[in-house]
Structures are given as structure tokens and as C-alpha cells.
């Protein structure tokens, strides 16, 4: 779980869960307070999740996104095309009505990849001292 606190108030949070034996991490929650949206907080949290997941020997990051969140994830490099075999995730992932599964293939990211659109969109999480994890 990662929580973004500014001036003593929670402005955004993200929770992810590793599913042993599956090589993927599921983003269970990625939320930004409605008055704080479109200020880069969602991307910041997603960057941190990707960095943590990338170093855990997992191959994919999955999210079950509602219709309004899919463009955000796709804009950050996630794909609507799921390459993980359904038998791998179907037993452990919770699906939601009106939600679409999106994935980021972490094997396409290099440790120093600043050109990937997720990392090129804003500064690195280290530039934000108010990020607590």
C-alpha cells in the first residue's frame, strides 16, 4: 500500500497484491481524491508501483479498471490486450462488472528506461518527499 499525504490529508492511495506462482501483481486500488485529480498523483503512484513490481521478478502488472479509468492506464502504457493465459489469473483475480482488465508487461521495461511513456510523463517519485509507502 502506498499513500500520498499532502498537508496532513490523504490525497491519493494505491494498493497492490502479489499472487504467488503467477508472475503478476494486481493493482487492487488506485484512487485520487476527486479535487486532486489531473495533477499527476495517479501517475506518481503508478510509477512507484511499477518500480516496486519490476524489482520483484514479476512479469506483469494487472488492473481491473472501470470504463473511466481505462484511458488513464492505456495512456501510461498499459494494454487492453491480455497476454497472460486466462488460466493463470482467472482463479485469483476478482473481476468487476463494467470493468476491463488491462496489463503492463514489465519485461518491456529496462531499469533505466526513461523513454517509456509512464516514466516520461512526469518527474520521478523520488522528487516527491511527501510520498509515504
Q: What per-residue confidence (pLDDT) applies to 116?
A: 55
Ordered strands of the 131-132 beta sheet: 99-105, 60-66, 24-32, 9-19, 2-6, 131-132
Band (128; pLDDT cuts 50, 70, 90):
very low
pTM for the whole thing? Answer: 0.79
CA gap 23, 29 in Å, rounded:
19
Q: Which residues pair with 19 in a beta bridge?
A: 24
Residue 66 backbone zone (phi > 0: left; psi -120 to 50: alpha; other: beta):
beta
Amino acid at each position: 500500500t502506498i499513500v500520498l499525504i499532502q498537508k496532513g490529508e490523504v490525497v491519493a492511495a494505491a494498493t497492490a497484491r502479489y499472487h504467488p506462482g503467477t508472475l503478476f501483481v494486481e493493482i487492487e486500488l488506485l484512487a485520487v481524491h476527486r479535487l486532486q485529480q489531473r495533477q499527476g498523483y495517479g501517475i506518481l503512484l503508478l510509477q512507484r508501483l511499477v518500480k516496486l513490481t519490476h524489482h520483484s521478478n514479476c512479469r506483469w502488472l494487472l488492473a481491473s479498471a472501470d470504463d473511466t479509468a481505462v484511458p488513464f492506464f492505456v495512456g501510461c502504457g498499459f494494454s487492453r490486450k491480455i497476454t497472460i493465459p486466462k488460466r493463470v489469473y482467472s482463479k485469483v483475480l476478482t473481476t468487476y462488472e463494467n470493468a476491463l482488465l488491462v496489463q503492463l508487461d514489465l519485461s518491456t521495461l529496462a531499469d533505466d528506461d526513461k523513454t517509456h511513456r509512464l516514466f516520461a510523463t512526469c518527474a520521478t517519485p523520488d522528487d516527491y518527499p511527501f510520498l509515504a509507502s
